[in-house]
Structure 1
Amino acid sequence: MAKIEITKDMLVGDIVNNIEGAAGALMESGMHCLGCPASQSESLENACMVHGLNVDEVLAKVNAAVQ
């Protein structure tokens, strides 16, 4: 099975819709608006900035969850 790596330039909508386990990890990291229309076209880095989250910490949690 190929290893999946989520990156900060990926769109939140793509992550949530295509990577099993990512939505729960994002919610646990403090990103609670995954169904918001903006999330469909917003990069993970931008979404973290808007929500006051550290993108590197979120990436580490989400990537660990989906492995």
Structure 2
Amino acid sequence: MKITENMTIMEVMNMDRSVASVFMKFGLHCLGCPGATMESIADAGRVHGIDVDKLVAELNKFFEEK
């Protein structure tokens, strides 16, 4: 499955909890907060000043290498 910026953080986390390391690398440490279940990756990226394209690329790389 391809990760997109429209998915929520929790959707991705539910695919494999060890992907948390990628989110943490980008400064998204509050993976259990309510925002993680409601906000898209794009929304979280904008709020936290993260390059969403790079984050999505890293997430997809993580799953490709599994």
For the aligned pair, the TM-score class normalised by the smaller chain equals: 0.7 to 0.9
**CA distance, structure 2, for counterparts of residue 8 and residue 56 of structure 1:** 8
Q: How does 1:31-42 map to 2 (within 5 A)?
A: 31-42=28-39
Q: Percent identity?
A: 36
Structure 1: any 5+ residue segments left out of the alignment?
A: none
Structure 1 ranges of 4+ moved more than 4 A: none
CA RMSD in angstroms comes to 1.3
Structure 1 length-normalised TM:
0.83
Structure 2: any 5+ residue segments left out of the alignment?
A: none
Name the structure with the higher helix share. Answer: 2
**CA distance, structure 2, for counterparts of residue 53 and residue 63 of structure 1:** 16
Structure 2 length-normalised TM:
0.84
Q: Which residue of 2 aligns with 1:11?
A: 8
